[in-house]
Structure 1
């Protein structure tokens, strides 16, 4: 039987969830601001350099089903130690060896580590905070937003000060050390280790209907995939697009930073709002309309409107991800079910999310025109509106 957490235990675990989550985006989002620099210094095409963000995202989809295997073999505690150490080591290598092969290899292995960590964290939240899942998902997505925001904004500043893109990418290994430290203190609490290791994730599982046979799970997969596509495409291509509209690299980097700062506050704020006012469809449609308006503002090329657009764009990017994470938590009863639904959703969703930045690169290499990129951004939000209407409120579709 799972023991009750003390207040201290819960706080330590929440800090650990936040610290781990901070490490789940910088290896990907630090590439976007450096896209043009890496392309020019290594003589790459747009497609080649886009692979640096596409590969880890696709790996997060393909290898998400490895999460239960690692949990059974190593347990949650050791799995997180291993994956955080891997992310830190590979990120540090980027700062030492300036090579496209190294960047591709580290992108692949980091993607595998992120794929294993994501579903396990969601299942842990479902089990240990069943009555406060929305709030804790907010902490989780807030941590991811902090990591994305810091790497998106400060990577350009590090490059501006050092003129070294390897240093600007490799410095984010420091976050892995902080994550390992926080995880160490959380895992010293015996009740935390007991409740995680004795969860349904590590026990013989009872037979249940596979989410791959459930219509609603497929809708969740598509929703997660399109919101991932929007996030990774925008984070990857906003800086090159802003530069093509007349901004300097530093201005474009700050534009991205402003967007992600708004995003991190909404990562935490939207789950809290939804917990108090649980009208899921209303909130999602509000975010999607904001995304359409933000895209149109940035598309104008008028710098003052582009700054407004960046602020407004933080609304959907900040709110859609935690809502997507909450969807399987709302529809499942146990940590095992949550893990299965989340693994399915992230398997297909991240594959979709990783492909679109490559599609944009192909189109841009072919046409040299970012107008098509803006059209794709609008397409993401319109398609998500249709999916939102199909999904409906909780338990509307069986």
Structure 2
């Protein structure tokens, strides 16, 4: 090898090492910020409603509107991404979350709280749409592991917020403190992004520019698949504590089930990529993850008061694994990091809209039937259907499935 070639290889090796150490830290910091604005609401909802006068319909907007923001911005990424830029996009997203949390420290009205949810949701949407493309570019040989760590940090941030928000609110004597304290990780994320993220050529960072995937049947299939195999999460967060309150559990005990689910989501997001790292075929692991979910929902249907912790743990592990693996599956479809990032943004866009609708459907079924059993049955049936869809994602068919031209 020539001297110039050796120097180039050494520079590339050094850059990859730097990305490996600093890049993972940045990815974790970003992930931690993407769920507290959602999960900190539930434990404090009684205090929030009493102080602001929000009804249940208005309170539901605190979850629905951010999720819709996640979907709509991700769909707009092909048009907004090139204008915003990855670096500015991440900074704007973190600033939006930070400002929304600061606003929540000061607000005293329901309307302002809903507006802060939209602002924070927009920030989350920007970051969430951009991160998969960053992972694909920074860790081309370790996408599953990096995606697993990102997924685990996202879920850990959400679970921590659910547990700590009421503790912080009680310590400071204000429910606003339990919502606004998440300003601190947002500022820490800004500091890391600005100071220690791996530096790249501008050409690499502009990879998000390009067309959209609305005309691609495979992109739509991946998006619907992503939405349905992850749809149990929003239903669990919305209705699992309510379900067990109806079975005469205390508010504290029923709320702890969400914490247990989060622990197993994190464990799955960390362990499943390690287990599947030697295989380019994600189907066996996705099928296993869906079957684990199915076992949990079967337990809720047939024996909700016998080993409830086991059923919730199974659902959490299955959901955590499905989230990480389904995003990895999406990135696998295209070798180019920019194109893969746009595809992941499209899949998340449609997928999060679906996951936002599912709790309404399961809640409506509860109202119509008077029981959550029909809701759990619907989720179980959707898992069985997705097991069949999983079989279509053979690695040798990725290129053929994505051959249709991308619309400009």
TM-score of the pair, normalised by structure 2: 0.85
The Cα RMSD (Å) is 2.8
- Structure 2 equivalent of residue 123 of structure 1: 133
Deviations 1:6-51 (A, max 9, x none): 5234311110111011111111122344455545665555443222
CA distance in 2, matches of 1:89, 1:239: 30
- Structure 2 equivalent of residue 243 of structure 1: 245
Contact kept, 8 Å, 1:96 with 1:166, in 2: the verdict is: yes
Matches within 5 A, 1:258-277: 258-277=260-279
Shift of 1:164: 4.5
Contact kept, 8 Å, 2:26 with 2:193, in 1: the verdict is: yes
CA distance in 2, matches of 1:390, 1:303: 37
- Structure 1 equivalent of residue 115 of structure 2: 105
Shift of 1:338: 0.9
Shift of 1:57: 1.0
Shift of 1:261: 0.8
Aligned partner of 1:193 among 199, 206, 209: 199
Deviations 1:73-106 (A, max 9, x none): 3432222122111102202322332432122212
Contact kept, 8 Å, 2:70 with 2:125, in 1: the verdict is: yes
Deviations 1:108-158 (A, max 9, x none): 222222222123211111122211111111121121121122123333444
Gaps of 5+ in 2: 1-7, 402-408
Matches within 5 A, 1:1-398: 4=12, 5=15, 7-35=17-45, 38-39=48-49, 42=52, 44-69=54-79, 71-158=81-168, 164-187=174-197, 192-195=198-201, 197-199=202-204, 201=206, 205=210, 211-299=213-301, 302-303=304-305, 305-364=307-366, 369-393=371-395, 395=397, 398=401
Which structure ranks higher in relative contact order (CA pairs < 8 Å, sequence separation ≥ 6)?
Answer: 1
Contact kept, 8 Å, 2:129 with 2:345, in 1: the verdict is: yes
CA distance in 1, matches of 2:20, 2:301: 45
- Structure 1 equivalent of residue 3 of structure 2: none
When Rg is computed on C-alpha atoms for both structures, the one with the higher figure is: 2
CA distance in 1, matches of 2:219, 2:347: 7
Shift of 1:332: 0.4
CA distance in 1, matches of 2:105, 2:302: 37
Deviations 1:257-302 (A, max 9, x none): 1110111121121122221244422211221122122123334575
Query: Secondary structure in 2 aligned to 1:24?
Result: coil
Residue 102 to residue 227, structure 1, CA distance change in 2 (3 Å): farther
Query: Secondary structure in 1 aligned to 2:335?
Result: coil
CA distance in 1, matches of 2:335, 2:294: 35
Query: Secondary structure in 2 aligned to 1:264?
Result: helix
Residue 362 to residue 167, structure 1, CA distance change in 2 (3 Å): farther
CA distance in 2, matches of 1:177, 1:317: 29
Contact kept, 8 Å, 2:40 with 2:161, in 1: the verdict is: yes
CA distance in 2, matches of 1:132, 1:344: 22
Contact kept, 8 Å, 1:27 with 1:110, in 2: the verdict is: yes
CA distance in 2, matches of 1:386, 1:36: 42
Contact kept, 8 Å, 1:30 with 1:152, in 2: the verdict is: yes
Gaps of 5+ in 1: none
How many residue pairs match? The answer is 390
Q: Which moved more, 1:311-320 or 1:230-239?
A: 230-239
Residue 271 to residue 258, structure 1, CA distance change in 2 (3 Å): same
CA distance in 2, matches of 1:28, 1:134: 26
Moved segments of 4+, more than 6 Å: none
Contact kept, 8 Å, 1:156 with 1:253, in 2: the verdict is: no
Contact kept, 8 Å, 1:149 with 1:260, in 2: the verdict is: yes
Contact kept, 8 Å, 2:78 with 2:208, in 1: the verdict is: no
